């Protein structure tokens, strides 16, 4: 019984059938927002960047929220160590009291993040793009529930309406990337790029994972337009981008076999992409790897770790930590299968995006 769901875009399938698959075929790795769900992918990240992609060429990493944190760790000169530190800190150092304030959540998250990047040594030849959402319009300068309810309603009417409330700001490290061209004029959210520097990297990564209502915003990031910055997943939840406009293939380790544009879109079934052909032209060059339903059924509570576990365990930190460690331990099976497939792809095992 397979632990994986593997899906291929049409161009990726043709390439593999014709030429096989090598690490240098991979030109982009996206990493979704999703909070603790991203923990399930860190063992695979460690194998990818510690073994299979040890010497990547022309590679772009792009992420939102925990995806940005994962990709920042993968960028480190010692990615295996950086990913292990991130995993340990995310599991063990987020011991919130019951009903913490947004300020308390922000302080604990920032302490965890800054500890992880204190010795960060990003490799210069790899491109990293960290996604954030800058509040504009009625969201500018406010964390009120009513303002976010208004933005949510606007998104229901159409994603372009949400662009009146949020602007995409991308913090960039490394060489120019073909993904930059693909994102220019992509949609009304824009693609404002700001260099990721020693002075702003903690704020940028913190902002990328700052969930409204739950956490205080990050304000006035150095080198970026003034304003309040929120989770990059609000605009780019699963990073549904036109990857097919880039050369090479996109490898997407993901926690679900679909690619939903924005976080608010996950409540709207008709916005799901990469399912039954919808959005397939953008994902034509993609290899998507996700846990199978059978694998998920074996995990504690029959699911990946998620943010609701903080409420489920209500201060029982040892119980939550044990459940998360068990889930990640099970993910080793998924790594073994993914490694075998990437080294010797079997197209019969792969579905269609």
Rounded Cα–Cα distance for residues 316 and 324 (Å) = 13
Number of domains within the chain? 1
Name residue, tokens 């260099």.
195
Q: Which residue has the tokens 């994603």?
A: 159
State which residues form the domain around 21.
4-352
Q: pLDDT tens digit string along 12-44? A: 999 999 999 999 999 999 999 999 999 999 999
pLDDT band for position 278 (cuts 50, 70, 90): low
Angstrom distance (rounded) from CA 92 to CA 8: 35
* 157-171, 172-186, 265-279, 282-296: least confident range: 265-279
Task: Give the per-residue pLDDT at 139.
Answer: 96
Better-predicted residue by pLDDT, 62 or 55: 62
Q: Sorting pLDDT into bands at 50, 70 and 90, what band is 275?
A: low
pLDDT digits (tens, 9 = 90+) for 151-178: 999 999 999 999 999 999 999 999 999 9
User: What is the residue-averaged pLDDT of the chain?
Assistant: 94
Q: Where are the beta strands (DSSP E) in the chain?
A: 4-8, 26-31, 60-64, 127-135, 166-173, 192-195, 218-219, 228-231, 249-253, 286-291, 350-352
- pLDDT at residue 274 in the model: 60
Per-residue pLDDT tens for 208-244?
999 999 999 999 999 999 999 999 999 999 999 999 9
Determine the pLDDT at residue 277: 53
CB 295 within 8 A of CB 44: no
pLDDT of 340 over the 70 cut: yes
Judge whether residue 321 has pLDDT over 70: yes
């Amino acid at each position: 019984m397979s632990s994986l769901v593997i899906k291929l875009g049409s161009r990726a399938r043709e390439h593999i059938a014709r030429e096989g698959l090598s690490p240098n075929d991979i030109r982009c790795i996206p990493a979704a927002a999703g909070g603790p769900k991203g923990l399930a992918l860190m063992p695979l990240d460690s194998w990818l960047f510690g073994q299979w992609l040890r010497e990547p060429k022309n590679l772009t990493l792009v992420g939102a929220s925990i995806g940005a944190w994962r990709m920042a760790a993968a960028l480190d000169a010692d990615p295996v160590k950086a990913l292990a530190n991130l995993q340990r800190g995310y599991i063990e150092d987020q011991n919130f009291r019951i009903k913490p304030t947004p300020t308390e959540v922000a302080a604990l998250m920032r302490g965890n993040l800054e500890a992880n990047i204190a010795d960060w040594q990003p490799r210069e030849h790899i491109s990293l793009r960290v996604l954030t959402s800058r509040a504009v319009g009625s969201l500018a300068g406010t964390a009120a529930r009513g303002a976010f309810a208004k933005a949510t309603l606007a998104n229901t009417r159409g994603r372009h309406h949400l662009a009146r409330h949020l602007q995409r700001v991308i913090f960039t490290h490394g060489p120019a990337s073909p993904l930059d061209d693909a994102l220019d004029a992509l949609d009304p959210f824009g693609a404002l790029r700001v260099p990721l520097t020693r002075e702003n990297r903690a704020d940028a990564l913190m902002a990328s994972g700052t969930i409204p209502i739950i956490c205080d915003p990050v304000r006035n990031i150095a080198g970026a337009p003034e304003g309040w910055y929120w989770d990059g997943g609000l605009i780019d939840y699963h990073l549904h981008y036109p990857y097919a406009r880039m050369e090479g293939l996109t490898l997407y380790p993901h926690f679900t076999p679909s690619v939903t544009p924005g976080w608010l879109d996950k409540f709207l079934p008709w916005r799901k992409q990469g399912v039954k052909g919808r959005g397939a032209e953008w994902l034509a060059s993609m290899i998507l790897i996700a846990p199978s339903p059978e694998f998920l059924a074996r995990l504690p509570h029959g699911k990946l770790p998620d943010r609701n576990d903080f409420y489920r365990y209500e201060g029982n930190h040892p119980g939550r930590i044990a459940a998360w460690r068990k889930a990640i331990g099970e993910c080793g099976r998924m790594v073994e299968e993914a490694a075998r497939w990437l080294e010797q792809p079997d197209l019969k095992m792969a579905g269609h995006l």
